[in-house]
A and B are shown apart, each in its own frame.
Chain A
């Protein structure tokens, strides 16, 4: 176990180096942040001063080496736009995104798995067909459209749920959380449902396909002949065998939701890190973009590790080596 963790750590360092270099080059070719930051009234001398104050007057490789030097000291840079260290900005916003991603994943799992099973067990029934058609919509509708529609129906027309923001929060260990207050939960519903939609549909389809395949296998037939109850066959014998791909997808999707909840956060004015990073990309606020992508890379490494560990519980044949 320790060995695999160390190996993952080593891999992640290489990933981080690659990510940071890529972002540096990409921001460099996508334009000049100083032109965006400097007010139009400023004279060229002042623009040059600003460029120097931000360290952007040096050649790219010098800037990158300087960044690496500071990164080794735990300093990933200072946002050009927000007057704060990039890492601090991201960690400040991370709980909001984490909360949203967690809620969306829970919704996707607690509805996705049962729906998938239902659709697999009685595929010819009308409700199974309804589930499958619904999942097709879930996969094909773009998130921004779903979000706007939900706002239109539940916030504007019916007035049941709020359309934006986090609502009332409660601080635990200095971090504000929405899911601890009723008002906060109301604010969480629409964005997390929007975010869950695609993943819910994906899980439904995955569970259904796996279940249908497994239900035809000999050991299931054998169990049936032996007189094992249908419930036990489905939830113990079959479900356990289809969970490996499902867990992989849940893990990957959780990372994906966490990292790229951008669209949903923008539509619902959810103050998470996705919104921060999209604003930073627009303004070419390189330190924030670099720090963000590096943190995301670390999150993905950790999630993959957790998924691998989960495998060993589900399938005793898999050992982490």
Chain B
């Protein structure tokens, strides 16, 4: 009898203590292989299972992870001191061999989508079990940040396993262990009791992909899930006002902007008096800047949740210049500029935009057209599926386009390299330079900051690049994305600009 009551007590103690968090995701992760897909839902999921050498805190500043410290010996050599006594979920110990193995897999596995970040690593030298030396092919100032993506896998347990196996058997040293994946229905994670860092509060986390916006909101309102990400803009206000729920909001990393074709001599899609390309004249570009009512778009289309963008990335990103402000909407000034440029009666142009990529992308394009109509520009909106849109604009078959970009490493270099630098396949620059912008001074500065280890000096150059290109204005920043989360009252966490959800940061307060 006594035995039974002890057993019962244990049983109930167990059930009472097990704290479960159910999360409604807006998209399902694609793989538990940390290098198979580089997209936010997959990365966010894997960050809970794996640890990297470094982490980014809630303000996206670098802090130690599996490396307790590191020294930059010279611009091409970094020494990492590894954390001792860390174990993978299957009990195998973590050491320098795992780091070398993971770098190799991230760089050389044919399907790795993370090659670009680790390209500067020429060689990984194992000095001893807990010290690794990275030899670099060039000075790489963003590498330390990017190492956050190098989620360490166990050499002992993973080597020789097929990618298909790894994809559904994720195993790292992180705060949560993978338990079960019923595709399309749910993923179950359980707390790693031996985690080296602060122990997670929730013992069990269940992730449920609820891709339909209305369904995700309904699941939260009906109590089926505790937290949802990407609160639909149409439901946000209602949830924010409901005392039964907590609402979380932070600026995201993604910038929504428009660009214009500055390369061609003739206008590609549109009509001007002599068929010339009006965007060759910087005054026309400036007129567009003043003529688009960004605050109006935010207020009337995105329900007031976004922040207008003064530059290419928000303040959480390294390289942000706090002294740059966005000039207010000024249609009179825009008309003046157009008149000066020789277009008192405006001209016609097509605005290419995706209709299934960014939140409200098509509506935003229509609003831009309406704003520009007020300064005499006749804009035809061509909103098409992303699968057609991207191949089209990335081959510069556009005169005027709407695009989004997020500096996912929280370093502005990604925008400079991919969008502002002259397109150069060999060097890997300008893949999304859809405006065809080319400024030798800017190119030189971009290449300089890409190999400058002195971050203070580098930041100054980055500010200079931003200022120079905003003066040329091939791209007009509009607004930053907003990350919205909602949870049952009592659940607290810090929403992050990079949109990653670290479930170890989630707590419940009464």
A residues within 8 Å of B by Cβ? 30-33, 35-36, 38-47, 49-50, 53, 81-84, 89, 92-93, 96, 148, 151-152, 155-156, 159, 162-166, 176, 266-272, 275-276, 279, 282, 284
Distance from A83 Cβ to chain B, minimum over Cβ atoms (Å): 4
Q: 15 extra interchain contacts, Cβ-Cβ under 8 A, other than A45-B425, A46-B116, A162-B224?
A: A31-B385, A35-B390, A42-B431, A44-B431, A83-B33, A84-B164, A84-B167, A148-B218, A151-B214, A156-B218, A165-B224, A266-B211, A269-B185, A275-B184, A275-B211
B214 with A35: CB separation less than 8 A = no
Report chain A residues within 8 Å CB of B390: 31-32, 35-36
B215 with A166: CB separation less than 8 A = no
Residue of B nearest to A148 (CB): B214
* A156 CA to B390 CA, complexed, in Å: 39
Residue of A nearest to B164 (CB): A83
* A89 CA to B39 CA, complexed, in Å: 21
B13 CB within 8 Å of chain A: no
B residues within 8 Å of A by Cβ? 30-31, 33, 36-39, 110-111, 113, 115-117, 163-164, 167-168, 182-186, 208-212, 214-215, 218-219, 221-224, 356, 385-388, 390-391, 394, 405-406, 408, 414, 418, 425, 428, 431-432
A31 with B391: CB separation less than 8 A = yes
Report chain A residues within 8 Å CB of B36: 83
Residue of A nearest to B168 (CB): A83
Q: A35-B390, A41-B117 are in contact. Are A81 and B218 (CB under 8 A)?
A: no
A30 with B388: CB separation less than 8 A = yes
Report chain A residues within 8 Å CB of B211: 266, 269, 275, 279
* A163 CA to B219 CA, complexed, in Å: 6
A268 with B215: CB separation less than 8 A = yes
Residue of A nearest to B408 (CB): A41
Report chain B residues within 8 Å CB of A49: 110
* A272 CA to B184 CA, complexed, in Å: 7
Q: A40-B418, A83-B31, A282-B356 are in contact. Are A152 and B218 (CB under 8 A)?
A: yes
A165 with B186: CB separation less than 8 A = yes
Top 9 closest A-B pairs, CB basis?
A31-B387, A271-B184, A43-B428, A39-B38, A271-B185, A83-B167, A155-B222, A35-B390, A32-B391
* A92 CA to B185 CA, complexed, in Å: 12
A43 with B210: CB separation less than 8 A = no
Report chain B residues within 8 Å CB of A84: 164, 167
Report chain B residues within 8 Å CB of A272: 184
Report chain A residues within 8 Å CB of B214: 148, 151, 267
Report chain A residues within 8 Å CB of B110: 49, 53
Q: A32-B387, A83-B36 are in contact. Are A156 and B221 (CB under 8 A)?
A: yes
A35 with B391: CB separation less than 8 A = yes
Q: A43-B428, A46-B115 are in contact. Are A155 and B224 (CB under 8 A)?
A: yes
CB<8 Å pairs between A and B, sample of 30: A31-B391, A32-B390, A35-B394, A40-B406, A41-B116, A41-B418, A42-B116, A43-B116, A43-B431, A53-B110, A83-B30, A151-B222, A155-B224, A159-B222, A159-B223, A162-B222, A164-B210, A164-B219, A164-B224, A165-B186, A176-B182, A269-B208, A269-B211, A269-B212, A269-B215, A269-B219, A271-B185, A272-B184, A275-B211, A282-B387
Q: A36-B387, A269-B209 are in contact. Are A83 and B163 (CB under 8 A)?
A: yes
* A36 CA to B212 CA, complexed, in Å: 20
A36 with B116: CB separation less than 8 A = no
Distance from B41 Cβ to chain A, minimum over Cβ atoms (Å): 12
By CB atoms of chain A within 10 A, which of B33, B209, B218, B223 has the most? Answer: B218
Report chain B residues within 8 Å CB of A151: 214-215, 218, 222
B185 with A39: CB separation less than 8 A = no
A165 with B405: CB separation less than 8 A = no
By CB atoms of chain B within 10 A, which of A38, A46, A159, A164 has the most? Answer: A164
* A31 CA to B212 CA, complexed, in Å: 24
Report chain A residues within 8 Å CB of B221: 156
A92 with B387: CB separation less than 8 A = no
Q: A46-B116, A151-B218 are in contact. Are A163 and B224 (CB under 8 A)?
A: yes
B208 with A53: CB separation less than 8 A = no
Report chain B residues within 8 Å CB of A275: 184, 211
* A268 CA to B24 CA, complexed, in Å: 12
A82 with B385: CB separation less than 8 A = no
Report chain B residues within 8 Å CB of A53: 110-111
Give which listed residue, A38, A93, A163, A267, contacts B222 with CB less than 8 A: A163
* A76 CA to B349 CA, complexed, in Å: 44
B30 with A81: CB separation less than 8 A = yes
Residue of A nearest to B110 (CB): A53
Report chain A residues within 8 Å CB of B38: 39, 41-42
* A53 CA to B425 CA, complexed, in Å: 19
Give which listed residue, A46, A163, A270, A282, contacts B218 with CB less than 8 A: A163
Distance from A5 Cβ to chain B, minimum over Cβ atoms (Å): 34
* A33 CA to B391 CA, complexed, in Å: 10
* A67 CA to B197 CA, complexed, in Å: 49
Report chain B residues within 8 Å CB of A266: 211-212, 215
Q: A36-B387, A162-B222, A163-B218 are in contact. Are A82 and B394 (CB under 8 A)?
A: no
* A47 CA to B116 CA, complexed, in Å: 11
* A66 CA to B425 CA, complexed, in Å: 30
Distance from B142 Cβ to chain A, minimum over Cβ atoms (Å): 11
Residue of A nearest to B210 (CB): A269
B387 with A93: CB separation less than 8 A = no
Residue of A nearest to B214 (CB): A148
Distance from A264 Cβ to chain B, minimum over Cβ atoms (Å): 10
Report chain B residues within 8 Å CB of A166: 185
Distance from A49 Cβ to chain B, minimum over Cβ atoms (Å): 7
* A47 CA to B30 CA, complexed, in Å: 19
Report chain A residues within 8 Å CB of B386: 31, 36
* A93 CA to B182 CA, complexed, in Å: 10
Residue of B nearest to A43 (CB): B428
Distance from B481 Cβ to chain A, minimum over Cβ atoms (Å): 14
* A92 CA to B418 CA, complexed, in Å: 39
* A144 CA to B218 CA, complexed, in Å: 14
Residue of B nearest to A273 (CB): B184
* A83 CA to B170 CA, complexed, in Å: 13
A164 with B218: CB separation less than 8 A = yes
By CB atoms of chain B within 10 A, which of A32, A45, A165, A272 has the most? Answer: A165
Distance from A259 Cβ to chain B, minimum over Cβ atoms (Å): 17
B432 with A40: CB separation less than 8 A = yes
Residue of A nearest to B388 (CB): A31
Distance from B99 Cβ to chain A, minimum over Cβ atoms (Å): 22
Distance from A163 Cβ to chain B, minimum over Cβ atoms (Å): 5
A156 with B222: CB separation less than 8 A = yes
* A171 CA to B356 CA, complexed, in Å: 38
Residue of A nearest to B384 (CB): A31
B431 with A165: CB separation less than 8 A = no
* A130 CA to B495 CA, complexed, in Å: 51
Q: A164-B210, A271-B182 are in contact. Are A41 and B414 (CB under 8 A)?
A: yes
Report chain B residues within 8 Å CB of A156: 218, 221-222
* A46 CA to B114 CA, complexed, in Å: 10
Report chain B residues within 8 Å CB of A276: 184
A164 with B183: CB separation less than 8 A = no
Distance from A233 Cβ to chain B, minimum over Cβ atoms (Å): 47
B30 with A38: CB separation less than 8 A = no
* A163 CA to B183 CA, complexed, in Å: 18
Distance from B161 Cβ to chain A, minimum over Cβ atoms (Å): 13
Distance from B178 Cβ to chain A, minimum over Cβ atoms (Å): 15
